[in-house]
Amino acid sequence: MKQEGKFILMSRGELRSYIEGLKGSKTFKTIQQHHTASPAYKDVKNNHFQLMKGMENYHVNTLKMSEIAQHFSTFPDGAICVGRPLSKDGGGFLGDQNRNSITIENVGNFDSDNMTEEQKQSIILLNALLCKKFNITPSTSTLIYHCWVQNKSCPGTKYFGGNSKAAAEQNFIPLIKAAMQEPLTFEMALQIVVEKIDSSYSYWLKRKDIDPAFKALIIKIAKSYGGK
């Protein structure tokens, strides 16, 4: 994890323990799905914190909000950044629509950008972990695309194959449900193991193919540490 002020940048591997370990948050009933539109993919150059600060500046100075609107941002490289604290409602919809609602902003313009596989995986995992944490059942009433409550294209006409409710029911909701059921992945397991033995996540991630049994072994070890 890397931190600048309140912004905490993490990998998918780190996200699970972060969300499972969250304390002092409100209760939430819905999760908002947005794209940033601007910044789009062309603006992303390993500048996560700069983009976070830019978005917060826009929300504070132009939209007159108290701070950044989104609790979580996802990036094309799969990184996830924490922004607004979960002691507050989200700020991505209008007024009352934000009540008990988590805001996720996915960096990109998914009217035109083709979402990377890394970002897809992060969006799926983030939604699944939040649904588990807050006992939210994934549906089009709980995972809410911005365009369903306001007249705009957000989270983008190409967001998981379309921004309609029918597209979400077909292409998005099932992925979140499946991820909630999914047992420990190698990435998650590795995160648990490296924390226990104080080793480097990225070091072992790069060496994941050193032996055909390596991934299964790490998952087994993580489970022995209590990972689910």
Segment contacting Zn ion (CB under 5 A): 29-37, 63-71, 181-189, 203-211?
A: 29-37
Strands (E), the chain: 2-4, 7-10, 30-35, 72-74, 80-82, 101-106, 143-145
Q: Residue 93 Cβ, how far from Zn ion at the closest point, in Å? A: 8
Considering beta carbons, is residue 78 or 91 the nearer one to Zn ion?
A: 91
CB 123 within 8 A of CB 16: no
Considering beta carbons, is residue 154 or 219 the nearer one to Zn ion?
A: 154
Site string for Zn ion, 122-161 (x = CB under 5 A): ------------------------x-------x-------
Site string for Zn ion, 47-86 (x = CB under 5 A): ----------------------------------------
Q: How far apart are CA 206 and CA 142, in angstroms?
A: 37
Q: Residue 194 Cβ, how far from Zn ion at the closest point, in Å? A: 35
Q: How far apart are CA 115 and CA 102, in angstroms?
A: 22
CB 106 within 8 A of CB 79: no
For the record, the structure tokens of 111 come out as 């009217």
Give me the residues that bind Zn ion (CB under 5 A), please: 34, 146, 154
